[in-house]
Amino acid sequence: MDVIHGFKTIFPIPLALSSTWDVSLIEQSARIAASEASSAGIAWTFSPMVDIARDARWGRIAEGAGEDPFLGSKVATAMVKGYQGDNLQNENTIMACVKHFALYGAAEAGRDYNTVDMSRLSMYQDFFPPYKATIEAGVGSAMTSFNVVDGIPATGNHWLLTDLLRDQWKFDGFVVTDYTAINEMTAHGLGDLQTVSALALKAGVDMDMVGEGFLTTLKKSLAEGKVTNEEIDLACRRVLEAKYKLGLFDDPYRYINTARMEKEILSETNQNAARKIAASSVVLLKNDKQILPLKKSGTIALIGPLADSKAEMLGTWAMGGDAEKVVSLLDGLKNVGGSSVKILHAKGAEFTDDPYLLKNMQSPLSPSTSNNGANVTKSNDELILDAVYIAAQADVVVAAIGEPAAWSGEAASRTDISIPETQKNLLKALKATGKPVVVVIFSGRPLTLVWEDSNFDAILEAWHGGTQAGNAVADILFGDTNPSGKLTATFPRSVGQIPIYYNHKNTGRPASPNNKFSSKYIDSPNEPLYPFGYGLSYSTFEYGEISLNKSNLKGEETLTVTVSSKKTLENTKVRKWFKCIFPIR
């Protein structure tokens, strides 16, 4: 099973996990996932996905750590350590699989399975580091990507799978294809199934996932001299070595332990961890007029299609998750607010009325309960009337909007990453009531939120937060937890800015308001709406002078950067100076 961000205890989607910027929490999430999954008989997972992604249209941006290779490398290492532990012989570990090797996050036009074309410089500097980090961390397996690398499909690319992965990086695990990737090389014009299967084996592929090209053609290719016994033996050896490393030859049933299942799966300890990690991933995008945190008194109107959703909180690639075990935001507000807070609830709107999107309200990758509109009993106008009625009775409105789980992840690319009109109309109606409105966005990707940012004073990016999403977001809304999440993927103003990322190269003609012939748009600022690293809290900070321990570095010397900061807690007005030290190599 693909244990991507949890087995039964579901953690936030990987993009959200990276927004914690806390590799210890990320490693803990993978450790819990491995412990739960291994008790149920799972010894291997297709995770972590470490593809650098700079295009929010790509649905699988949800599965990675965003746009930065340095942070992505740290997250990738933490995931491998969490899954595999210190010794794969331990029964509570599982083998990790780095994917997708390589460059899959750079698919043109943000369209899944699409082509990739880039320079070697970009490969090595911007996209390869997270893959290499997992190799150095001892990852047990690697998965090929669907795209081409230097014009050759990754699954049949000898330079990629042998010269680079094994000879340069010294990878000693085994290579598995992605789902039917060998077969799909035929569409690239590389020959029939027998031909591409031989090509994949000779390139360095050890296991053929599902396509059965190895199973049905290698015997014939061997007889015809197109592959050798040694090549087949080497692939078999690498797969058998993985089983040996996992201890499966000593005990093939070691990864089935019903006693451990009953003790560990969805345990209170795991739920507490999931709640903490989910809260740490929430990003406060805006808090003008200090609407947040909410008071634990009075009346709150919770409105929106994601207000009482359980399954959608699980996000993409959460097939092991149980929607009935999920805490919705409605449940979370009641749990955290307590008896002194009155919670009113209305759906307010359907996710969309767009016929294209309605066809994609279900996904095999998530246990989603979203319907395609067939069971709708009220029109959107009627739903908005209900919402306005209860908003009028409340002191503050919390609007829970965004994407259902099926709108991000694999095969879920979007050309328009704005909030759909049905939900935007709901927001317009809520704004018209004059009540303070807190917008809580659940999504699997960065969205274009220029209108929302211009019209509302408080906005939270809550992602798809997993089993404990509702409690975690409520902890943030009521101030029990100070928001600390920071964006790891840039939020553009519009899709016309994509690809957009913080560490881009300079131009010789930077944007200038006084020079028409400079690098800028005529209908939009160059700057994103919310940049990489952005995220507010309920505290304010003042920064002192930056100092360096040296001005010149040689070889492997370390540069230490020191900055003083003053933090003010808004609720207490307590100020405290502290010093931050950053060692940089």
Could you give the residue numbers annotated as active site? 178
Question: Which is it for the CA torsion 137, 138, 144, 150, positive or negative?
Answer: positive
Contacts of 209 (CB under 8 A, 6+ apart): 143, 176, 177, 178, 179, 180, 181
Alpha-carbon separation of residue 191 from 116, 220, 387, 402, 459 (angstroms): 21, 15, 59, 44, 52
Compute the distance between CA of residue 85 and CA of residue 103 in angstroms, rounded to an integer.
27
Compute the distance between CA of residue 515 and CA of residue 302 in angstroms, rounded to an integer.
48
Residue with tokens 């590799």: 23
**Residue 458 contacts residue 286 (beta carbons within 8 Å):** yes
Question: Which is it for the CA torsion 226, 228, 233, 235, positive or negative?
Answer: negative
**Residue 263 contacts residue 113 (beta carbons within 8 Å):** no
Q: Which of 77, 1, 70, 71 is nearest to 39 (CA)?
A: 1
**Residue 61 contacts residue 412 (beta carbons within 8 Å):** no
Alpha-carbon separation of residue 38 from 76, 108, 256 (angstroms): 20, 37, 7
**Torsion angles phi and psi, residue 458, rounded to 5:** -135, 125
Alpha-carbon separation of residue 60 from 30, 107, 125, 502 (angstroms): 19, 10, 21, 20
Residue with tokens 């570095």: 553
Compute the distance between CA of residue 328 and CA of residue 320 in angstroms, rounded to an integer.
18
Q: Which of 59, 74, 56 is nearest to 501 (CA)?
A: 56
**Torsion angles phi and psi, residue 345, rounded to 5:** -135, 140
Q: What is the DSSP letter of 585?
A: -
Return the H-helix or E-strand segment holding 177: none
Total H helices, total E strands in the chain:
18, 14
The 10 Å CB-count burial string (b at 16+, else e) for 471-498 is bbbbbbbbbebbbbbbbbbbbbbbbebb
**Residue 467 contacts residue 268 (beta carbons within 8 Å):** no
Q: In 189-228, where does DSSP find H-type helix? A: 193-203, 213-223
